[in-house]
Chains A and B, each alone.
Chain A
């Protein structure tokens, strides 16, 4: 029963925001939706939720157009946080819940449960503007999941949260997944995504670069990573001279190198032994998601791209 995105295109004026976007989000899992600003993440989400109509292509969930499902099927946390600033927190959560067809009493109980869980129950009757940014963000998340949606789309859920709140939010994600929900989250924090996501989708300039289970995506480049530490620490010349090997992180504790696809990582170990150094660490691993991303897309740009500036969103 997956969420299937099939050949979506969407153009804003001269900008091709989505250019044949296709991927599948497996059911009951967390999917990381990765891309630079303006790559097409928000536009894809808005099409799935029916805010925007695609020029062509389909978005289906359980083999049915996403727009045909009841609204309470969907939970959405937009990148730009939005709350009624002068409205008490619990009142506005009840309002959101009632829009999804919950009774006011039901919505109130669910809201208070979630507030307690996020340790902000004492702020229930305060206005949203009097809350700290982190707490506002937690309220925003509660607004997203209050009505118990089946599919939850979140744009940058971790931005602006301190590590404690990131952990709280992550636990909530994992619990929702274990209860059978499907979560899609876009993020810049690739280490977060790597840790949390069962599958990832990388999008760039409106096209899907790669998609699949996180482990498969990490292995998709064919490269492998070797972390090595020897008694001759600091001297990296021998590593640089090895064929098919590139030093990527000349670190203090250990040095990380990339081994080209097809080459044997054990060659690094053999070379180290041949030099006669003591080998303190030798580790063969898959590249990190960040490595894959950098290789496939290039450095993550912090600057907004043209698309965002035109107001079309990413």
Chain B
């Protein structure tokens, strides 16, 4: 009983002290604000997009056009800003108007009244020619949209001259049906690169970043806290009351609780953002218009995020504490935790490369890596969201992770017990090995 009581007493002290530090409070606040910003990013981006309107002038020198180029340009350009939606929006991004005087319009571009002037004339061979007068970059977004639109207008004009009337042209220009599917017939679901898949990949990517941050940030924190007790020599005082194992578990639990509190605050901010999202979008963008949330956020995914986050933290945190116990000065902490930082960074990078497609997430060795305890917390979420994993695989990796936490705790307790009374030089790898094996 005293084992638990003492571990809880240590955890409690750690929690109360850490929670009150200014850097923690400020850091949490910054992260909460960041979550809010990310959650409302679609609304914010849209609002900014909407508030900026560009005026485009069109000077039509060509004759014999089958359609009104001014209206067509306006429809085409505003349609493309709205990701293919054909419904007219209440406040279009581009206002296209005809101008009779080209020179006056060009001067107006210089003065800023117009973003650009488009001149349409007809060459001797009958084709339409377009010239854009603008100070904006020629490869910019506006110029690009105008260029796309002019191609459509030119093709339409050619078809009209060939005798196909505009009403009949619509069917001609409709894109063909085109699908992408997995080569493996047993595999179903969306392939890479679709809008939904990208949304899900981003989600698992973000969660992996959060897990990685928690391990690196709070792992180092634990190591620092152990060294603080060594360098202030409190260690000997509390060692008389509690066993190294109690101190170790208490420290990991305490700092873990601090980390969970921070992530809880972030989660609360996220949930709040979800609830407020519709209302805020309605106020900012008007009642008809809504901006989408990140898709694919499901309860099972959140649950797996929680499980891998907590278990991944525990397996690393115990070893971070052991690494901290080997040194006696704050400036040596970074060197002591370096091996752990390297392993976690490597696992994290492999996971990131796999989720952005630099590595094939379906390959066998990625599947193997996602079972290895120090890597699986980073790898699994990406594989889950890309639909590459079966339930038994997930359960197996969790079981392996839990078993390795027990192993890490055993190893860490042995290192810690010998390390906490070790002052002076940093022990060599051989010496650490000896400490772990020694019976005391």
Contact = CB atoms under 8 A, between A and B. Distances in A.
Interface of A: 46, 49, 51-53, 71-72, 74-78, 80-87, 95-96, 98-101, 140, 143-144, 147, 309-311, 313
A46 B9 contact: no
B239 A51 contact: yes
Contacts of A311: 422-425
Nearest to B233: A82
Contacts of B236: 51, 76, 78, 80, 82
Contacts of A49: 240
A53 B235 contact: no
Contact of B237 (A46, A82, A86, A87): A82
A83 B440 contact: no
A72 B6 CA distance: 12
A95 B421 CA distance: 21
B242 A71 contact: yes
B423 A74 contact: no
Contacts of B10: 99
Nearest to B431: A13
A80 B229 CA distance: 12
Given A49-B240, A75-B240, A76-B240, A83 B234 contact: yes
A102 to B, nearest CB: 10
Interface in B194-249: 229, 232-242
Nearest to A101: B2
Contacts of A100: 241
Q: Sorted from nearest, which 9 A-B pairs have the closest CB atoms? A: A82-B233, A311-B424, A53-B440, A99-B241, A78-B236, A82-B234, A80-B233, A76-B240, A98-B9
B13 interface: yes
A71 B241 contact: yes
B424 A99 contact: no
A99 B6 CA distance: 5
Interface string B122-151: 000000000000000000000000000000
A76 B233 CA distance: 13
26 contacts: A49-B240, A51-B240, A53-B440, A71-B2, A71-B240, A71-B241, A71-B242, A74-B240, A75-B240, A77-B237, A82-B229, A82-B234, A82-B236, A83-B232, A83-B234, A83-B237, A87-B17, A95-B9, A95-B13, A99-B238, A99-B242, A140-B237, A147-B241, A309-B424, A311-B423, A313-B421
Given A83-B232, A85-B232, A52 B241 contact: no
Contacts of B238: 96, 99
Interface residues of B, number: 26
A143 B237 contact: yes
Given A76-B237, A78-B237, A95-B9, A53 B242 contact: no
Nearest to B239: A51
A84 B241 contact: no
B439 interface: yes
B249 to A, nearest CB: 13
A52 B2 CA distance: 21
B5 interface: yes
A82 B423 CA distance: 14
A55 B324 CA distance: 27
Contact of A96 (B5, B235, B241, B439): B241
Contacts of A86: 17
Given A71-B241, A76-B240, A311-B424, A52 B232 contact: no
Most A C-beta atoms less than 10 A away, residue of B10, B237, B439, B440? B237
A111 B440 CA distance: 34
Interface string B11-37: 001000100000000000000000000
Nearest to B242: A99
Contacts of B239: 51
Nearest to A97: B241
A310 B17 CA distance: 34
B339 to A, nearest CB: 22
B440 A78 contact: no
A84 B237 CA distance: 10
B422 to A, nearest CB: 6
